[in-house]
Amino acid sequence: MFRFITISIYVICSLALVVSVTGCSRSRLPDIQNPNSALIIGSRWKVERYELNGVADSLPVLQQAVFDFRENGQLIYTHESPAYKDLFNYSFLNDSLLRFRKDAPVSLVDYFIEVIRVTDTDFEFRVTDSYSSEKEHYSTRRL
């Protein structure tokens, strides 16, 4: 009986270790099958041009807005004048579509980034959300 309990504890501890090492990682390291993720993740992108519903708006450019796609699955949006910072969690749905949400217990709005073009230096994308019909178009350059 004692040996059975000892073996059971060993098996449970081993399984817990395997799950904690492999299954609980929140890392969003680039996917080998998704070349866009390798270019986007781990980079900071400064807004150089912005349009809202097809109309140019220079405010995000003047505010020096930056999108920071962290390897841990966090997207940090910041700008200066006035100083502002917002945190989201993001994930790739496929090679040209990302979903991001507010880092909150209950997020009512899903945001989507549609990749238009991405290179080593430039990232052009469209942002939409599940709440409104607005379409934001960003042209950014890697910092």
Paired with 85 in beta bridges are 78
Specify the amino acid at residue 129.
D
pLDDT at 4: 41
- How many Cα atoms occupy the beta-carbon half-sphere of 99 within 13 Å? 7
pTM attached to this predicted model = 0.75
**DSSP code for 130:** S
Indicate if the pLDDT at residue 62 is higher than 70.
yes
Residue with tokens 């929140």: 26
CA gap 100, 120 in Å, rounded: 22
pLDDT, tens digit, for every residue of 88-101?
Answer: 999 999 999 999 99
Which run of H or of E encompasses 13? helix 2-18
| pLDDT top residue among 27 and 81 | 81
Contact 67, 44 (CB under 8 A): yes
Side-chain-side CA neighbours of residue 85 (13 Å): 3
Is residue 7 predicted with pLDDT exceeding 60? Answer: no
- Look at residue 33 in the predicted model and tell me its pLDDT: 67
